[in-house]
Amino acid sequence: MKRLILPACLSLAIIVSGVALVFARHQTRILFAERQQLRTEQQQTTDEWGRLQLELATLGSLSEINHRARTELQMQIPDQVATLALPARP
C-alpha cells in the first residue's frame, strides 16, 4: 500500500499541473485578445483626438479671420433688408 501512495501523489500532481497549465494558457489568450481590442480603441481615440485638434485649429483661424475682418477692415454682415435690396445681376 505504501508503494502506491508516492506514484499516486505524483500522478495527481502531474494532472493538477497540466490542468493549471491549460487554464493559464486560456487566460493568456483571453487577455491578449482584450489587449488587442484596447489597442485598437486607443488608436481610434488618438485619431479622433487628432481630427478634433485640427478642427479646433481651423475654427480658431476662422475666428481670427472674422475678428480681423471686423476690426481692421471694418467689415460687417449686411442686414437682411440690405441684401434683399441689391439689384439682380444679369
Residue-level pLDDT, tens digit, the chain, 90 residues: 678 898 899 999 999 999 999 999 999 999 999 999 999 999 999 999 999 999 888 877 877 888 888 888 888 887 777 666 666 666
Please, are residues 22 and 30 in contact by the beta-carbon 8 Å criterion? no
Per the CB < 8 A criterion, the answer to whether 69 and 75 are in contact is yes
H-helix or E-strand spanning residue 48: helix 2-71
- Cβ neighbors of 76 (< 8 A, separation 6 or more) are 70
Q: What integer pLDDT is reported at residue 71 of this predicted model?
A: 87
Q: Is 38 exposed, middle or buried (0-12, 13-18, 19+ CB in 10 A)?
A: exposed
pLDDT at 65: 83
- Predicted pLDDT of residue 85: 63
**What are the cell numbers at 2?**
505504501
Model-level pTM greater than 0.85?
no
